[in-house]
């Protein structure tokens, strides 16, 4: 598959400006492919303006546009387009922001852009997604951390990678917390989906994918989960292309 993907665990590290830590990676990735304009998908940002979801999309667009303009890219949001599928078909790059994955998948499916974006990715269009935007690159959205605030027609997503991502992966089990850890929840998923691999992508980390090559970049290690096996750790800078096989 001729895919070019930048899949980012999180937009913002604690105490930092919005999109500060991945900014250099985003700029380098898009510049490598000569991108000048990006089509932004804001559908996951449902609560940025209390007046309406539509106004939340406006707020999200302006927040991301300011940063992309500073990096030298023109950004337009799909929610202004009369025909979202045509907008995708004409885009030179797709950027999907984080937020609620259920709402993101719902709108991508209802507007027909899930399949349209997949077709573009298969042909090599650069794709950037963080948090929920990374989740939808997977076969399904079933390893999201988000609350199901709505019900999409299907949990199926772009399927441009063969493994699942759990963004914002946490090792910690807070003192006094009697519920399942993140690791336990992921093994619950694997108990039912035994042929799946899950990448626990910690905050401050991303996948840079070109074709069948995938590199882990960022400040922290990756935790990989498979059914019936102990989790494995891979350091930043590792070639983890086995995840694509």
pLDDT band at 1 (very low <50, low <70, confident <90, very high): confident
In this structure, is residue 196 part of a structural domain? Answer: no
In this structure, is residue 126 part of a structural domain? Answer: yes
- The yes-or-no verdict on residue 174 having pLDDT over 70 is no
In this structure, is residue 8 part of a structural domain? Answer: yes
- The yes-or-no verdict on residue 168 having pLDDT over 70 is yes
168 a catalytic residue: yes
Query: Are the CB atoms for 236 and 220 separated by under 8 Å?
Result: yes
pLDDT band at 157 (very low <50, low <70, confident <90, very high): very high
Per DSSP, the three-state class of 4 is strand
pLDDT band at 227 (very low <50, low <70, confident <90, very high): very high
Q: What percent of the chain has pLDDT over 90?
A: 92
Write down the mean pLDDT value for the chain: 96
In this structure, is residue 188 part of a structural domain? Answer: no
In this structure, is residue 112 part of a structural domain? Answer: yes
List, in order, residues 6 or more apart from 144 with CB less than 8 Å away: 101, 102, 132, 135, 166, 167
- The yes-or-no verdict on residue 175 having pLDDT over 90 is no
Q: How many domains does the chain contain in total? A: 1
Query: Are the CB atoms for 190 and 227 separated by under 8 Å?
Result: yes
In this structure, is residue 183 part of a structural domain? Answer: no
- The yes-or-no verdict on residue 67 having pLDDT over 90 is yes
> Residue 23: what pLDDT?
97
Number of helices (H), then strands (E), belonging to the chain: the values are 7, 11
Range of the domain at 97: 4-161+204-218+234-244
Active-site option among 49, 77, 146, 238: 146
> Residue 180: what pLDDT?
80
Which pair of tokens denotes residue 154? 């299907």
In this structure, is residue 191 part of a structural domain? Answer: no
Which pair of tokens denotes residue 158? 């772009």
> Residue 178: what pLDDT?
61
Query: What is the rounded average pLDDT of the residues 70-88?
Result: 97
239 a catalytic residue: no
pLDDT band at 62 (very low <50, low <70, confident <90, very high): very high
Question: What pTM does this model have?
Answer: 0.96
Per DSSP bridges, beta strands 222-226 and 197-201 are: antiparallel
Cα angle 70-128-43, degrees, rounded to a multiple of 5: 95
Angle between helices 53-71 and 23-32 (to 10 degrees): 70
Tens of pLDDT, residue by residue over 14-60, are: 999 999 999 999 999 999 999 999 999 999 999 988 889 989 999 99
List, in order, residues 6 or more apart from 121 with CB less than 8 Å away: 3, 4, 5, 94, 127, 158, 160
In this structure, is residue 109 part of a structural domain? Answer: yes
Tens of pLDDT, residue by residue over 87-112, are: 999 999 999 999 999 999 999 999 99
Cα Rg for the chain, rounded, in angstroms?
17
> Residue 58: what pLDDT?
96
Per DSSP bridges, beta strands 94-96 and 126-130 are: parallel
Active-site option among 11, 56, 77, 131: 131
Active-site option among 49, 93, 168, 236: 168
For residue 61, what is the domain's CATH number?
Answer: 3.40.50.880
């Amino acid at each position: 598959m001729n895919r070019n993907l930048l899949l980012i665990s999180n937009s913002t590290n604690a105490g930092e400006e919005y999109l500060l830590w991945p900014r250099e990676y985003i700029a380098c990735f898009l510049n490598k492919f000569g991108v000048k304009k990006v089509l932004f998908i804001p559908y996951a940002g449902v609560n940025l303006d209390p007046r309406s979801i539509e106004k939340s999309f406006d707020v999200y667009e302006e927040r991301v546009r300011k940063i992309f303009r500073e990096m030298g890219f023109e950004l337009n949001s799909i929610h202004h387009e009369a025909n979202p599928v045509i907008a995708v078909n004409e885009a030179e790059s797709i950027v999907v922001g984080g937020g609620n994955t259920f709402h993101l998948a719902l709108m991508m499916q209802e507007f027909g852009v899930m399949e349209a974006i997949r077709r573009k990715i298969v042909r090599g269009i650069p794709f950037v997604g963080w948090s929920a935007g990374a989740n939808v690159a997977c076969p399904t959205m079933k390893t999201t951390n988000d609350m199901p605030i709505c019900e999409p027609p299907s949990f199926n997503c772009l399927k441009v990678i063969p493994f699942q991502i759990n963004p914002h992966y946490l090792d910690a089990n807070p003192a006094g917390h009697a519920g399942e850890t993140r690791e336990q929840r992921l093994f619950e998923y694997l108990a039912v989906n035994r042929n799946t691999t899950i990448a626990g992508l910690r905050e401050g980390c991303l996948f840079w994918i070109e074709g069948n090559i995938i590199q882990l970049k960022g400040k922290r290690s990756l935790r990989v989960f498979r059914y019936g096996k102990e989790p494995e750790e891979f350091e930043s800078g590792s070639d983890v292309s086995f995840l694509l096989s």
